[in-house]
């Protein structure tokens, strides 16, 4: 079948939208072109009928398929009896409350993002000696109602700021340099910047940044990023890589040069637990001729590094899977001396992160997901434990841009994002915190363990109303990647609507995450990925055995890297789960090399050019797993944002097309949004509409 005409696509959309409830429940198949491609790679023969969806030249046809599926899905969702209830309740317990984030301070001036009821996207707020007031609205700055602010950073003089803007949840955009007093732009915008990367002011008249490559058809723009120093007011930019700092093209070159520090630190970062590091004298970087010295290789298993005066601190799991913080003295040229251990991780205090400050070093640790904080005076100790204000997760510890103060940002199961100031072991509220729904205090948090197939005990956290008992609609979430802890305390404001309705929500800490250190992470990665799938099934079965989930099993969900875990666990263990929702997932990892942001993921999930790693990718590929699966998955909703620059939306589109071709009567649905991406920078109304759809679908499937 050739490419459909616009009239044909519209006819399909109208046909799906006009479906009655009866025809919706029959999961009517929407025609989509199948064009098989068969190839043998490393001895494995693969057939792919929907490879054409990956080609940018076929984007219109792909969008027509998504639009038609969307209309069919929309008819199903709008007919759900609880959809209107969730939409209303989300407004009351989530969107109507004030949200804050991104706190930064310099001198007596603070900047943070704030959203109030009615705001589509967060606005930048300033607080200084004159009080607190709105500073910038992304829609006003850009003229784009879907514009969102990303990372921003003060200049050390506290009078200027760099701020990232992008649109529609895409995360890729530009950075503006602004005068804080007037709000006026200084110099030209810096284009092609990823939303998490800051543009730093170094010296009085220069900026330092990492820039994406110039777009080229068929080329991943994430590959070949380069770091530059450039004049603030415009002019020629100088590349500051090379000279000893050779960054593989699939990695992100990140350079940090804090004010007043004698050394700059460079990193080759990526979607993996470990990074490579270099040091250069700060003066040589400002001159545009850095003299880099390598101080950390991948085999060192160094996760984080930072300088403080003439000392280098490195967080590593090379000798201790629970983490070690090392201190190296630095010579005048940056040559490291012999290391000393300044903090050793343990089962009671798993090392998570650290931050250097003018007074010493703060170390973030955790036990069973709950955050801990230690202070090392002058960076050497002995370690002093800091009493935290509540059980929660340490989101960030950061030095002020002028180096004269330190902030702590935390969140908890029933505490929203909250900012504190640190002075040694003293913690003081900064007076900035997200509002929390009053009913959140009525939710109970229960820690449990599931026993996996091989006998491994898997951590799990269950949230539901205090005093609740018996079976209830239940969602279990898994992730299992990047050494990310999935059971650490976090306040999810939308989740309150689900809990308020009477549902239960569980977080499963499968192997592949960071719940129990390096060995736990490696235990669910690469060839060990099936262990994580077994862990997730064990969590579902435990929820059933505890009398919490419906007898047919909870609904399982996961996002992003969870796409290599959730749908595969569902197809491998179909009797463990009652339904499934996968959001913006990597469901076709065998094709990661063809995806935008794909090469950067090789170190985490596997390089398709390596025979063994390719086999591992195929084994965790939910798209290819469909072919051999004897039975369809349980009722399934697959969610994507068409502006996603992290995980290619065609992965999920292919999965839905193949699954519905094999099981035309199965209840499999696709929800795609042209105003959303991976989830970051999505407008509040767009985000809330998706949450209402997800919870309404989950409630319908779990309450039958």
555-559 and 579-583 strand pairing: parallel
**Segments of 55-214 assigned E as strands:** 99-106, 109-115, 123-128, 131-136, 147-154, 160-167, 172-179, 190-194, 200-202, 206-211
Catalogue the E-assigned strands of 257-404: 263-269, 276-281, 293-296, 302-308, 311-316, 324-329, 340-344, 350-356, 360-367, 370-377, 384-386, 393-399
Cα–Cα dist 610/623, whole Å: 20
Contact call for residues 363 and 385 (beta carbons, < 8 A): no
**Whole-angstrom distance, CA of residue 699 vs CA of residue 692:** 10
Q: Is 173 exposed, middle or buried (0-12, 13-18, 19+ CB in 10 A)?
A: buried
E strand or H helix at 90, and its extent?
Answer: helix 83-90
Distance CA 508, CA 297 (A): 32
Q: What is the DSSP letter of 273?
A: S
pLDDT of residue 523: 97
Q: What is the pLDDT of residue 29?
A: 60
* Beta-bridge partner residues of 80: none
Task: Determine the number of helices (DSSP H) and then strands (DSSP E) in the chain.
Answer: 15, 38
**Average pLDDT for consecutive 10-residue bins of the chain (704 residues)?**
30 28 45 95 98 96 97 97 98 97 97 97 96 95 96 96 97 96 93 96 94 87 93 93 94 95 96 94 96 96 97 98 98 96 97 97 95 97 95 97 96 97 98 97 97 98 97 98 96 98 98 97 96 98 98 98 98 97 98 95 96 98 97 97 97 98 97 97 97 98 94
pLDDT digits 0-9 by tens, 516-535: 999 999 999 999 999 999 99
N-term to C-term CA, the chain: 39
**What DSSP line would sit under 551-575, residue for residue?**
TT--EEEEEGGGGGTHHHHHHHSTT
Q: Residue 47 is inside which H or E element, if any?
A: strand 44-48
**pTM listed for this prediction:** 0.94
CA distance 513 to 114: 31
The pLDDT of residue 28: 57
Task: Report d(CA 241, CA 696) in Å as an integer.
Answer: 50
Pairing verdict, β 636-641 and 668-673: parallel
Tokens 């007011």 locate to 233
Place of tokens 């077994």: 534
- Report the alpha-carbon distance of residue 609 to residue 630 in Å, rounded: 30
Three-state DSSP class for 40? strand
Report whether 675 contacts 79 (CB < 8 A).
Answer: no
Q: What is the C-alpha to C-alpha distance for residues 130 and 188, in angstroms, rounded to an integer?
A: 29
Query: Maximum CA pair distance of the chain?
Result: 76
Model pLDDT, residue 19: 30
Report in angstroms the alpha-carbon separations of 528 from 303, 509, 606. 21, 15, 12
| DSSP 8-state class, residue 215 | P
Per-domain residue ranges for the chain?
A: 33-79+586-673, 102-234, 240-345, 352-375+392-436
Task: Work out the burial of residue 14: count CB atoms within 10 Å of its CB; fewer than 13 is exposed, 13-18 middle, 19 or more buried.
Answer: exposed
Q: Give the architecture (CATH level 2) of 102-234.
A: 7 Propeller (2.130)
**In 3-state terms, the chain is what percent helix, strand and coil (to 5)?**
25, 35, 40
DSSP designation for 245: B
Q: Which fold is adopted by the domain 33-79+586-673?
A: Rossmann fold (3.40.50)
DSSP string, 450-469: EE-TTS-EEEEEEEEETT--
d(CA 416, CA 492): 8
Q: How far apart are CA 31 and CA 220, in angstroms?
A: 30
Q: Phi first, then psi: what are they for 468, rounded to 5°?
A: -70, 145
Find, among 560, 566, 502, 499, the residue nearest to 536 by Cα.
Answer: 566
Q: Smallest Cα–Cα separation from 654: which of 62, 28, 50?
A: 50
- CB-CB contact of 97 with 437 (8 Å): yes
Cβ atoms of 573 and 537 closer than 8 Å: yes
Spatial separation of the C-alpha atoms in residues 484 and 522, rounded to whole Å: 12
Cα-based angle 226, 230, 234 (whole degrees, multiple of 5) = 125
pLDDT given for residue 235 in this prediction: 87
Write down the pLDDT at residue 657: 98
Whether 307 and 330 have beta carbons less than 8 Å apart is answered as yes
Beta bridge partners of 462: 446, 506
Contact 649, 565 (CB under 8 A): no
CB atoms within 10 A of CB 203: 18
The CA angle 438-441-447, to the nearest 5 degrees, is 150
Angle at 347 between CA 367 and CA 389, to 5 degrees: 25
> CA-CA distances (angstroms) from residue 608 to 44, 54, 199, 222, 649?
12, 17, 33, 18, 20
The dihedral region occupied by 309, where left means phi > 0, alpha psi between -120 and 50, and beta the remainder, is: left
In which order are the strands placed within the sheet that holds 99-106?
Answer: 99-106, 109-115, 123-128, 131-136
d(CA 151, CA 190): 13
**Are the C-beta atoms of 634 and 579 separated by less than 8 Å?**
yes
C-alpha–C-alpha distance, residues 168 and 683, integer Å: 7
Q: In what order do the strands lie in the sheet with 200-202?
A: 200-202, 206-211, 226-231, 238-239
Here the tokens at position 581 are 């929702």
| Residue corresponding to tokens 């850009």 | 142
Beta bridge partners of 355: 362
> How do strand 579-583 and strand 636-641 relate by DSSP bridges?
parallel
């Amino acid at each position: 079948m050739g490419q459909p005409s616009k009239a044909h696509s519209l006819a399909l959309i109208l046909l799906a939208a006009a479906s009655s409830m009866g025809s919706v429940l029959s999961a009517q198949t929407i025609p989509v072109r199948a064009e098989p491609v068969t190839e043998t790679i490393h001895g494995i023969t693969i057939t792919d009928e929907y490879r054409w969806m990956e080609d940018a030249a076929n984007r219109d046809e792909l969008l027509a398929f998504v639009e038609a599926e969307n209309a069919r899905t929309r008819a199903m969702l709008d007919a759900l009896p609880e959809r209107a209830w969730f939409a209303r309740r989300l407004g009351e317990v989530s969107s109507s409350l004030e949200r804050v984030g991104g706190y930064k301070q310099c001198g007596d001036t603070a900047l943070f993002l704030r959203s109030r009821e009615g705001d589509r996207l967060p606005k930048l707020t300033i607080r200084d000696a004159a009080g607190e007031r709105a500073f910038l609205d992304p829609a006003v700055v850009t003229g784009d109602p879907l514009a969102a602010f990303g990372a921003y950073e003060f200049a050390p003089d506290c009078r200027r700021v760099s701020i990232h803007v992008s649109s529609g949840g895409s995360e890729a955009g530009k950075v503006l340099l602004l005068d804080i007093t007037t709000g006026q732009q200084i110099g030209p915008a810096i284009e092609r910047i990823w939303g998490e990367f800051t543009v730093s002011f170094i010296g009085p008249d220069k900026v330092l940044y990492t820039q994406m490559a110039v777009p080229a058809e068929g080329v991943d723009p994430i590959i070949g990023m380069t770091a530059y120093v450039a004049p603030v007011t415009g002019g020629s930019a100088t590349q500051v890589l090379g000279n000893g700092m050779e960054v593989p093209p699939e990695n992100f070159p990140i350079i940090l040069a804090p004010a007043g520090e004698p050394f700059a630190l460079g990193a080759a970062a990526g979607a993996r637990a470990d990074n490579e590091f270099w040091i250069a004298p700060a003066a040589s970087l400002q001159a545009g001729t850095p003299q880099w010295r390598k101080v950390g290789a991948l085999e060192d298993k160094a996760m984080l590094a930072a300088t403080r005066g003439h000392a280098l601190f490195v967080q590593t799991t090379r000798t201790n899977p629970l983490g070690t913080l090392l201190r190296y003295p630095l010579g005048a040229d940056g040559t490291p001396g012999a290391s000393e251990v300044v903090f050793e991780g343990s089962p009671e205090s798993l090392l998570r992160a650290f931050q250097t400050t003018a007074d010493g070093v703060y170390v973030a640790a955790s036990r069973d997901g709950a955050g801990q904080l230690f202070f090392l005076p002058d960076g050497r100790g002995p370690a002093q434990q800091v009493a935290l204000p509540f059980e929660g997760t340490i989101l960030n510890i950061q030095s002020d841009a002028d180096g004269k103060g330190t902030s702590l940002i935390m969140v908890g199961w029933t505490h929203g994002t909250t900012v504190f100031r640190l002075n040694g072991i003293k913690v003081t509220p900064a007076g900035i915190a997200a509002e929390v729904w009053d009913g959140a205090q009525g939710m109970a948090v229960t820690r449990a363990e599931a026993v996996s197939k091989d006998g491994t005990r898997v951590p799990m956290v269950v949230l539901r109303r205090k005093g609740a008992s018996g079976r209830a609609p239940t969602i279990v979430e898994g992730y299992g990647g990047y050494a990310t802890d999935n059971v650490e305390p976090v306040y999810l404001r939308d989740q309150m609507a689900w809990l308020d309705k009477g549902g239960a929500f569980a977080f499963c800490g499968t192997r592949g995450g960071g719940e129990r250190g390096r060995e736990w992470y490696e235990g669910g990665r690469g060839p060990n990925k099936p262990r994580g799938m077994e862990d997730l099934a064990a969590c579902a079965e435990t929820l059933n055995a505890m009398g919490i989930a419906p007898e047919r099993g909870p609904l399982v969900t996961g996002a992003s890297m969870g796409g290599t875990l959730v749908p595969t666990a569902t197809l491998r263990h179909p009797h463990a789960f009652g339904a499934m929702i996968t959001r913006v997932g990597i469901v076709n990892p065998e094709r990661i090399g063809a995806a935008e942001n794909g090469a950067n993921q090789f170190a985490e999930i596997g390089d398709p050019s390596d025979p063994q790693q390719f086999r591992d990718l195929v084994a965790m590929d939910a798209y290819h797993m469909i072919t051999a699966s004897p039975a369809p998955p349980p009722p399934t909703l697959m969610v994507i944002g068409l502006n996603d620059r992290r995980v290619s939306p065609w992965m999920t589109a292919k999965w839905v097309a193949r699954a519905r071709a094999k099981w035309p009567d199965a209840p499999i649905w696709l929800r795609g949004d042209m105003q959303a991406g991976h989830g970051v920078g999505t407008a509040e109304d767009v985000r809330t509409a998706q949450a209402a759809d997800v919870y309404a679908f989950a409630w319908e499937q779990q309450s039958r």
